Amino acid sequence: MEKKKALITGVRGFVGQQLSSHLERQGWEVCGTDVAGEDDARFQQCELRNFEDLKALLHWAGPITHVFHLAAITFVPDSLNDPNTTFEINMGGTVNLSRAMIETCHQARLIFIGSSESYGPPTYLPQDEAHPLNPQNPYAISKAAADQYCAHVSKQGSLDIIRMRPYNHSGPGQTDRFVLSSFARQMAEIALGQREPVLHVGNLDVARDFSHVEDVIRAYEFAALHGTPGEAYNVCSGKATTLMEAITLLRGMLEVDVHIEIDPDCFRHAEIPEIRGSYEKLKTSTDWQPMKSFEVLMQDLFTYWKTHLQNESE
The tens digit of pLDDT for each residue in 240-263 reads 999 999 999 999 999 889 999 887
Cα R_g (the chain), whole angstroms? 20
Q: Which of 136, 166, 196 is the last residue of a domain?
A: 166
Residue 252: give its domain's CATH number. 3.90.25.10
268 pLDDT band (50/70/90 cuts)? Answer: low
The reply to whether 83 falls in a domain is yes
The reply to whether 282 falls in a domain is no
Within 8 A by CB and 6+ apart from 1, the residues are none
The reply to whether 98 falls in a domain is yes
At 270 the pLDDT is 60
| Structural domains counted in the chain | 2
Range of the domain at 187: 179-207+240-277+293-313
The reply to whether 226 falls in a domain is no
Residue 90: give its domain's CATH number. 3.40.50.720
Q: Which of 107, 136, 166 is the last residue of a domain?
A: 166
Same domain? 161 vs 199: no
Same domain? 147 vs 186: no
Query: What are all long-range contacts of 248-252, with beta carbons under 8 Å and residues at least 24 apart?
Result: 249/294, 249/295, 249/298, 249/299, 250/183, 250/184, 250/187, 250/298, 250/302, 251/187
Same domain? 132 vs 188: no
Asked whether the whole model's pTM tops 0.85, one would answer yes
Nearest-10 crossing angle of helices 138-156, 93-104: 20
- Using left for φ > 0, alpha for ψ between -120 and 50, and beta otherwise, residue 266 falls in alpha
Res 25 pLDDT > 80: yes
Same domain? 158 vs 200: no
Same domain? 112 vs 196: no
269 pLDDT band (50/70/90 cuts)? Answer: low
Res 307 pLDDT > 70: yes
How many Cα atoms sit within 13 Å of 307 on the Cβ side?
A: 8
List pLDDT tens digits, range 153-175: 999 999 999 999 999 999 999 99
Res 267 pLDDT > 80: no
Same domain? 140 vs 183: no
At 189 the pLDDT is 96
Q: Is 135 helix (H, G, I), strand (E, B) or coil?
A: coil
Same domain? 55 vs 104: yes
Same domain? 41 vs 107: yes
The reply to whether 137 falls in a domain is yes
At 148 the pLDDT is 98
Same domain? 39 vs 73: yes
Query: What integer is the mean pLDDT of 23-45?
Result: 96
Same domain? 30 vs 95: yes
Is residue 293 within 8 A of residue 211, CB to CB? The reply is: no
